[in-house]
């Protein structure tokens, strides 16, 4: 069972850059998209269905061309949950969950704190989301929460921790929150298999950052500790270039 998470920075733009051909080669069972920036009726869904993703679910922001998440699956879920029930989160289309017999997978797109107003929004969102997840985790033991968290966890996860120490995405309060999230019962899947530095999932388009690997690891597939024995592998696919992010993957044992 292969699960992929990918902030595509616009699903239509990524499709124009060869996303479908890549999905055929990668052959995941489930893919979680973030930042789709489109309404469902603006997307040629038949292209995904034609390559095996018969079950596809889209949760767009109310604001056109903004945010939005999706999950595409080759396996039928037993339940689909759109949003969190917390209205200010759901207006921006940031959470979508599919429940299967053996596990549940959520596509998550946490806000970025690009200015003071959005930073306050992000911090409020983080607090409310953690409370939501703690309650959900008490009911659903095998959660997988995949997506763009917009936070680097540790200094190893960012190319210049000194200069970025006061930048949203690497603020102490954000990093502490991510540790609390992990401590609530989750595994940072990638770090289970790779402790090397310079492993990033996002690069600014400025200053040739990607070519110079001046990046941030802000995309995670967090796996419930109850699934630890099922976890088989986790990777960052940093050579895939449909977006300013790259895909990340996990494999689960049958």
Single out the residue of 115, 109, 86 nearest to residue 96, CA to CA. Answer: 109
Question: Helix 116-139 crosses helix 172-183 at what angle (to 10 degrees)?
Answer: 10
Record the tokens describing residue 43, joined without a space.
């997307």
HEC readout, 180-233: HHHHCCEEEHHHHHCCCCCCCCECCCHHHCCCCCCCECCEEEEEEHHHHHHEEE
Q: 148, 157, 188, 219: which one is catalytic?
A: 148
In order of 80, 95, 101, 202, 211, the CA distances from 239 in angstroms are: 32, 27, 33, 12, 10
3-state secondary structure of 11: helix
HEC readout, 87-152: HHHHCCCCEEEEECCCCEEEEEECCCCCCHHHHHHHHHHHHHHHHHHHHHHHHCCCEEEEEECCCC
Single out the residue of 254, 91, 203, 238 nearest to residue 246, CA to CA. Answer: 238
Residue 244: active-site member: no
**Residues with a known catalytic role:** 148
């Amino acid at each position: 069972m292969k699960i992929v998470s990918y902030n595509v920075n616009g699903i239509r733009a990524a499709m124009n850059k060869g996303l479908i051909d890549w999905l055929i080669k990668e052959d995941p069972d489930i893919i979680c998209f973030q930042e789709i920036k489109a309404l469902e009726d603006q997307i040629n869904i038949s292209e995904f269905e034609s390559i095996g993703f018969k079950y596809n679910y889209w949760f767009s922001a109310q604001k056109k061309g903004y945010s939005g998440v999706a999950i595409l699956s080759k396996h039928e879920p037993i339940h689909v949950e759109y949003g969190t029930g917390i209205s200010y989160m759901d207006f921006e289309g940031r959470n979508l969950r599919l429940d299967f017999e053996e596990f549940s997978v959520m596509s998550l797109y946490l806000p970025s704190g690009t200015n003071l107003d959005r930073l306050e929004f992000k911090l409020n969102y983080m607090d409310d989301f953690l409370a939501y997840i703690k309650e959900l985790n008490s009911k659903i033991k095998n959660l997988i929460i995949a997506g763009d968290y917009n936070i680097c966890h540790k200094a190893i996860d960012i190319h210049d921790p000194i200069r970025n120490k006061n930048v949203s995405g690497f603020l102490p309060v954000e990093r502490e929150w991510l540790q609390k999230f992990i401590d609530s019962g989750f595994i940072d899947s990638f770090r289970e298999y790779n402790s090397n530095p310079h492993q990033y999932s996002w690069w600014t388009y400025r200053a040739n950052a990607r070519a110079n690997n001046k990046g941030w690891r802000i995309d995670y597939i967090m796996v419930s500790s109850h699934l630890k024995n099922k976890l088989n592998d986790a990777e960052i696919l940093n050579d895939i270039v449909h977006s300013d992010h790259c895909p990340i993957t996990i494999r689960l044992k049958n």
